Amino acid sequence: MVTNKVFNYGKKFKLESGKSLSEIQLYYTTYGKLNADKSNVIWICHAFSGNSDFTEWWGGLFGERKLYDPEKYFVVCVNMLGGCYGSTGPLSENPETKKPYFHDFPLLTNKDLVNSYKLVRDHLKIGRIHTVIGCSMGGQQAVEWAVDEPGLFDHLVAIGANAKHSPWAIAFNETQRMAIAADQTWKAYKDNAGMEGMKAARAIGLLSYRNYVCYEAKQHEITDEIYDDFKASSYQNYQGIKMQKRFNAFSYWIISKAMDSQNVGRGRGSLEKALKRIKAKSLFLGIDNDILFPTVEQKFLAKNVHGAVYEEIDSYYGHDGFLLEFEKLTVAINNFYANSLATKKSA
């Protein structure tokens, strides 16, 4: 049974920037039952605009008789700070001013988000985690957490992730923020500030989540006679409107900045030194047509994490393959667990 819960932390939550939030609320979802020795925990770090209810967007992996069956595992996912799905974010009330934060919400980093997850783990009295699994920005957080607390995880599964956000990916995010900033309403202190800009930002972002091949397959015209109102045009508008209905421009801005912050080498000497800290048996999954988190980034992770495995799945969906290629992901992760178990027995 999927259960949604709220954890309130009434103390000051310090951020990597030196700023702090006077208190925070974290919305989280659990699924399944914790076993007696608490060895069956699967911790999900969700992607950029996701929420804590992973059965809504990752239902192909979680459910009865699926990869992560609730009869076998206890699954936890926390909605990241800065979002708009229950955890403290820019539209939340600032306890000090009794007004929404809006533009005054402090910048977050992936380290901050991981530190907030630790609070929920302590609250649930979970001492060890079978697997931390994350996709995209969630994969970034999973890597950061495995570096920060090397002895906590038995397994790490990161899909379409990286150790450091690339200039290419940061440029995509900055271009999306430019679209938000170009909206004349953006500077207002209102819930709906920048929403038309965010519509354009989402359309820009979608180009990096998919690719040429995907658009050619899904959005091509069946006639040579059309000269306006193309399928690709309506699709971009449709995706932007969908985002307007479920998100806000403030969260879009804050979370994209947090994604840009990814650099596990910060404060640890170098990327290579940081990744050598990871003790979890690690699987890094790349998607062959991913132009946002190209496979060279997952190969770098696997090269620098001791004993890590790199697997690649083919998907013309590009980066969004992590949301759609459930059968391929299931096979790759099951093989990883099987090989990990075989290695453990032989040792």
What's the pLDDT at 125?
A: 96
What's the pLDDT at 345?
A: 60
Strands 99-100, 129-135: pairing kind: unpaired
- What letter does residue 86 receive in the DSSP assignment? S
What's the pLDDT at 100?
A: 98
CB-based contact 91:101 (threshold 8 Å):
yes
What's the pLDDT at 341?
A: 73
CB-based contact 263:143 (threshold 8 Å):
no
What's the pLDDT at 299?
A: 98
Tell which residue, 48, 26, 203, 191, has the closest CA to residue 123.
26
Render 276-303 in DSSP notation, one character per residue: TT--SEEEEEEETT-SSS-HHHHHHHHH
Amino acid sitting at position 158: A
Instruction: Write out the catalytic residue numbers.
Output: 136, 290, 319
pLDDT per residue rounded down to tens, the chain (347 residues):
899 999 999 999 999 999 999 999 999 999 999 999 999 999 999 999 999 999 999 999 999 999 999 999 999 999 999 999 999 999 999 999 999 999 999 999 999 999 999 999 999 999 999 999 999 999 999 999 999 999 999 999 999 999 999 999 999 999 999 999 999 999 999 999 999 999 999 999 999 999 999 999 999 999 999 999 999 999 999 999 999 999 999 999 999 999 999 999 999 999 999 999 999 999 999 999 999 999 999 999 999 999 999 999 999 999 999 999 999 999 999 999 998 776 666 55
What's the pLDDT at 1?
A: 85
Q: For residue 6, how far is the Cα from the chain centroid?
A: 20
CB-based contact 27:85 (threshold 8 Å):
yes
Give the start-end residues of each E strand in 58-113: 74-78, 93-94, 99-100
Tell which residue, 81, 16, 45, has the closest CA to residue 267.
16
Burial per residue of 128-166, b for 16 or more beta-carbon CB atoms within 10 angstroms, e otherwise: ebbbbbbbbbbbbbbbbbbbbbeebbbbbbbbbbbbbbb
Domains in the chain, ordered, with CATH?
2-165+262-346 (3.40.50.1820), 169-259 (1.10.1740.110)
- What letter does residue 164 receive in the DSSP assignment? B
